[in-house]
A and B are shown apart, each in its own frame.
Chain A
Amino acid sequence: MNPIVSGASVVAAGLAIGLAAIGPGIGQGTAAAQAVEGLARQPEAEGKIRGTLLLSLAFMESLTIYGLVVALCLLFANPFAG
């Protein structure tokens, strides 16, 4: 493979997953904080709060996964190779 293309792909893969982890990280932290506050305010709602929190975390996680898929595609199924 052309060395410029492989070098650029590696850098792009690293940047993709690195930058993709920032936003959802902040978002999940905020969601967990609000969930803990709601739990402290009303401990008997624990079941509902836990279920809603896990579901919301999975949605935010998927945004990071999109970046990971791009990184994996660049490393293992590169469309510009050869």
Chain B
Amino acid sequence: MVPFVGTLFLFIFVANWLGALVPWKLIKLPEGELAAPTNDINTTVALSLLTSISYFYAGFKEKGLGFFARYISPTPIFLPINILEDFTKPLSLSFRLFGNILADEIVVSVLCLLVPLFIPLPVMVLGIFASSVQALVFATLSAAYIGESME
């Protein structure tokens, strides 16, 4: 579990910071443009599906078929809520990361369009800070979900 969470954190952290700091505009592609990999919903959904698969796997390895008992805890009335939680966990993880990175990129590009030189700088600093916090939050939540399914 620990190497997985560490890899997640490092990947997201380096991806966000590279997307924000390196001048990708210098490399001209025939179509499309280069930016942070996490500004596409597909990347973040892939990462959160990895987390989802790994907490199912961890639960099965620890408890075998008794894993399904967690759907009926604490009371059987919670069954639809617990099933829904299986879908909303990866959804919220992916949207949180995607929204933060894409929103910062859009704000920086719109500000650069309007007032080029100094005004986008505070937003870029906020983006750097927020993207590192988001990497930490993603990794912490993944560790929390995996730990919760193992006990």
- A interface residues with partner B (beta carbon < 8 Å): 54-55, 58-59, 61-62, 65-66, 68-69, 72
Interface assignment of B98: CB less than 8 Å from any CB of chain A: yes
Closest B residue, CB atoms, query A65: B99
Binding site for A on B (CB under 8 A): 92, 95-96, 98-100, 102-103, 106, 130, 133-134, 136-137, 140
In this complex, what residue of A is CB-closest to B99?
A65
A69 neighbours in B (Cβ, 8 Å): 95, 98-99
Point out which of B98, B99, B106 has the most chain A C-beta atoms below 10 A from its C-beta. Answer: B99
On whether the beta carbons of B102 and A58 are closer than 8 Å, the reply is no
Contact check, B137 vs A55: say whether CB atoms are below 8 A apart. yes
Check A54 against B102 for contact (C-beta < 8 Å).
Answer: no
The 9 closest A-B pairs by CB, nearest first: A65-B99, A62-B96, A58-B137, A69-B99, A58-B133, A68-B99, A69-B95, A68-B103, A65-B96
Interface SS of B by simple majority: helix
CA distance A74 to B100 in the complex (A): 17
A62:B133 contact, CB within 8 angstroms = no
Q: How far, in angstroms, from A35 to B142 measured CA to CA in the complex?
A: 25
Main secondary structure of the interface of A (DSSP, over half): helix
Chain B residues lying within 8 Å of A55, measured Cβ to Cβ, are 136-137, 140
Q: How far does the alpha carbon of A55 sit from the alpha carbon of B136 in the complex, in Å?
A: 8
How many Å lie between the Cα of A65 and that of B95 in the bound state?
A: 7
Q: Provide 13 A-B residue pairs closer than 8 Å at the C-beta atoms, listed in order of the A residue.
A: A55-B140, A58-B96, A58-B133, A58-B134, A61-B130, A62-B95, A62-B96, A65-B95, A65-B96, A66-B92, A66-B99, A68-B99, A72-B99
Q: How far is the CB of A6 from chain B (nearest CB, A)?
A: 20
Minimal beta-carbon separation of B101 from chain A (angstroms): 10
A62 to B106, CA, bound (A): 17
Alpha-carbon separation in the docked complex, A69 to B140 (Å): 22
CA distance A61 to B100 in the complex (A): 9
A54-B133, A58-B134 known; A65+B100 contact, CB < 8 A = yes
Closest residue of A by beta carbon distance from B94: A69
* Residues on A with beta carbons closer than 8 Å to the beta carbon of B103: 65, 68, 72
Bound state CA distance, A55 and B133, in angstroms? Answer: 8
